[in-house]
Amino acid sequence: MNWCPKCQTVLANEQVTEGECWRCHSAVEKRDLTQWYLKITDYAQELLDDLDQLDGWPERVKQMQANWIGRSEGAEVKFTLCDKQGNAPENPTEDDLITVFTTRADTLFGCSFFLLAPESPILKGLVEGTEYEAAVMQVVEDAKKITAVERAQGNKEKHGAFTGRYVVNPINGEKVPVWVADYIVADYGTGAVMAVPCGDQRDFEFAKKYDLPIIPIILGDDDPLFEQLKDEQGRVVTSVDWDSAMEAEGRLVQSGKYTGLTGGKHSEGEEAIVADLEAAGRGKRKVEFRLRDWLISRQRYWGNPIPMIYCDKCGLVPVPEEDLPVRLPEDIDLSAGETLATHEGFAKCTCPKCGGEARRETDTMDTFTCSSWYYLRYTDPHNTELPFDSAKTNRWMPVDQYIGGIEHAILHLLYSRFFTKVLRDLGMLDFDEPFKNLLCQGMVLDEHGDVMSKSKGNVISPEEMIAGYGCDAVRAYILFMAPPDKELQWNEDGLAGMHKFLNRVWRMVYDLVGKADEDTLYQPGASDAEAAAARKVLLRERHRVAGKVVDDFDRNNFNTAIAAIMELVNAIGDYLRKVGPEQRAASVDEQALATEVANVLVRLLAPICPHMTDELWHDALGCEGSIHTQEWPEFDPEKAKDDEVELAVQINGKVKARITVAADADQEAVKAVALEAVQDAVAGKDLKKVVVVPGRLVNIVAK
RNA sequence: GGGAGCGUGGCGGAAUCGGCAUACGCAGCGGACUUAAAAUCCGCCGCCGCAAGGCUUGUGGGUUCGAAUCCCACCGCUCCUACCA
């Protein structure tokens, strides 16, 4: 197990990052303990396959989950263990065979030694009472001491020892030595590995360090990728061009009857060799996953009790359903060092089977077990009989939009998907995935670029900013600073600007509905033509911006939605300056336009600035009810269009002039206007081609 | 070591399908109003250049009528993962 010495508890693999505890960042140690697991590995394939259904998830998160699940296609190969005298059994039984997993069966001819993990359960039996025992057990002991942190920091010096035993390679009958090596991971594959030093850099390093033979197989003895110094057996390699060797997978197998077949993962050679091993009963196709079972036991008070009872007579007995849930005791003195195990009122119980004295399991479950399905309860929160009624939950779920930090990409989001599938298989849910759309908001960084966190003490307090500018301004400013999925380096320079903008909105709305006091934006002096132009732009912007904001919200682009609202506000400002209060008061049409624009503006801004818009809704616009139950403003894409468009005129892709044409002008007319606009520049040149992109530009290709 | 992503003005950022690069804002500069300041409003604001004009999306190539966007190589940064056979 992974053990955190500070938290005094075990951790799941997912909760160890770079060798450290996810919660307190202490270096994680290894311990041998008997613990409870959930068998998430049974769902490895489905958890991987169903990532394809998650169109609304960031690619990055799906990639991280796929890597974590880590599917590898390969084969199991059975080697025969020789006895202590080094003789292979004539008719080996299953007990005489040791299985390895490999993705490169085509390299079996290059296997020159055989490795076991230090934690391998058969290791002790192999060396017990032999002259090799001391050295092997030393490697086992040392492996426990090297912390995962040291390994993560690149301390990858490999250690090993010969066990004195041999195994026979099933493909060629070669006898190779068995070593223990600390770079073999016990709980991946079988904890035993065939070593092919000319095909694997780690095996190569190990072979060099302990002077083990290196057989050049992928390519043959004379391949230039291997720099060779042959000993009397003709098989010592001093170095390998690894970069090239990695790309050499398409090359040919050069050994035995397979000579001439291509090598590599899923290659002809690999297929042929696995097929022969299978026929001989010495191998079979196998898929391995990196994902391990989820260790849920925690040595903590807070957590769901694990509902199991230990009885001396009956063994392990589950708490019967009618006694569930098991509740934590509240009369426990944690500060005095009392634990669930020492709390007799909790730990002591009677066996549900025989009625005799028994003890409860006093470990509790990982907090992530609770967070893996809490959201289901939201669909039926008052149910006193069941966690949730399936009919209700199936109606509401899955969650349309889930929001969370990227730090949960593997932990919470993988566990929740697993729980959903298990509950579905138990008949309690009728869907496969809990969260249709996922938004991972970026983290907030301080001025040095460090992630803000309570434990680092570098968080900024929103209270002060809210006191100075109001929470609508703080909220709008945060949304405006960056798209939500991007990380954001905190900087308050623009906050005062956002505050000014909202004040401007406030005054404008009152001005538009004719309730401005003395503080109007109107500056006399605009001509009728200028007033008409401002009015036209305003009407267009009202429709264009409403469409853009609705669209931006669908894509979570809140920053550009706010930018668009600012553009509408700029158009309103121009209108208010040029069409004065008296003019507006005198015209029913003008009042209707101004009121509608005010109404649209306030509704567009409502999700961003909920407080001030609700006040404007009642006090300025005189509307009833809450603004937050209103629909988005309607809009007409036709009215968002201008009847004239400005086009760039390019010569060979460089902008040389700009022309204004009617929006519905036909291409020939546009071409003529464009050519006229640049006639001096193209004079005397050969016109190869004229590309007209309606509404955008004209590109003239001339030589 | 393996995987993913990013690089645009002084700054945050925009450009949704290959079509006017720098929207919107911050900072800065100039102006109006004011006895003055605040507040408010207007204008300028990528780089070089007096100008005409030229250059510009990390660097270098390629595809294309046209590239921030697609392809290749390199440089730099970030995140994830890590002795996974």
DSSP A574-614: HHHHHS-HHHHHH-HHHHHHHHHHHHHHHHHHTTTSHHHHH
CA A445, CA A699: separation in Å to the nearest integer?
A: 45
How far CA A654 is from CA of A467, A649, A650, A668, A681, in Å, comes to 51, 8, 5, 21, 12
Q: What is the pLDDT of residues A399-450, one digit of tens each?
A: 999 998 887 888 899 999 999 999 999 999 999 999 999 998 888 887 777 7
Q: Are residues A9 and A364 in contact, defined by beta-carbon separation less than 8 angstroms?
A: no
Q: What is the CA A690 to C1' B65 distance in angstroms?
A: 8
Nucleotide nearest to A155 (CA to C1'): B83
pLDDT at A269 over 80: yes
Using a 7 Å cut-off to protein CB atoms, list the covered nucleotides of chain B.
Answer: 2-5, 11-16, 19-21, 23-27, 39-42, 55, 65-67, 79-85
Q: What is the CA A480 to C1' B14 distance in angstroms?
A: 12
**Residue with smallest Cα–C1' gap to B33:** A523
Q: What is the CA A486 to C1' B76 distance in angstroms?
A: 20
Q: What is the CA A526 to C1' B34 distance in angstroms?
A: 24
Contacts of A207 (CB under 8 A, 6+ apart): A112, A113, A195, A197, A213, A214
What is the DSSP secondary structure assignment for residue A288, as one 8-state letter? E
Phi, psi of A229, rounded to the nearest 5 degrees: -130, 105
Q: What is the pLDDT of residue A220?
A: 52
Q: What is the CA A55 to C1' B14 distance in angstroms?
A: 25
Nucleotide nearest to A653 (CA to C1'): B66
Give me the residue label for tokens 């050679």.
Answer: A269
pLDDT at A685 over 60: yes
Poorest-pLDDT segment among A2-16, A183-197, A338-352, A494-508:
A2-16
**Residue with smallest Cα–C1' gap to B2:** A67
Q: What is the pLDDT of residue A239?
A: 67
**Residue with smallest Cα–C1' gap to B78:** A487
Nucleotide nearest to A157 (CA to C1'): B83
The chain-wide mean pLDDT, for chain A, equals: 88
Can you say how many angstroms the Cα of residue A519 is from the centroid of all Cα atoms in its chain? 52
**Is the backbone peptide bond immediately before A398 cis, with ω within 30 degrees of 0?**
yes
Q: What is the pLDDT of residues A336-369, one digit of tens each?
A: 889 999 999 999 999 999 999 999 999 999 999 9
Q: What is the CA A278 to C1' B73 distance in angstroms?
A: 45
Type of residue at A289? F
Q: What is the CA A545 to C1' B58 distance in angstroms?
A: 35
**Is the backbone peptide bond immediately before A434 cis, with ω within 30 degrees of 0?**
no
Question: Token pair for residue A507?
Answer: 């005054």
At A248, the pLDDT band (50, 70, 90 cuts) reads low
CA A118, CA A229: separation in Å to the nearest integer?
A: 32
Q: Are residues A560 and A484 in contact, defined by beta-carbon separation less than 8 angstroms?
A: no
Nucleotide nearest to A196 (CA to C1'): B85
Contacts of A703 (CB under 8 A, 6+ apart): A685, A686, A688
Q: What is the CA A652 to C1' B65 distance in angstroms?
A: 7
Q: What is the pLDDT of residue A148?
A: 60
Percent of chain A with pLDDT over 70: 93
Q: Are residues A589 and A530 in contact, defined by beta-carbon separation less than 8 angstroms?
A: no
Nucleotide nearest to A195 (CA to C1'): B85
Q: What is the pLDDT of residue A115?
A: 96
Q: Which class for A537: exposed (0-12), middle (13-18), buried (19 or more C-beta within 10 A)?
A: middle
Q: What is the CA A150 to C1' B44 distance in angstroms?
A: 58
CA A312, CA A350: separation in Å to the nearest integer?
A: 11
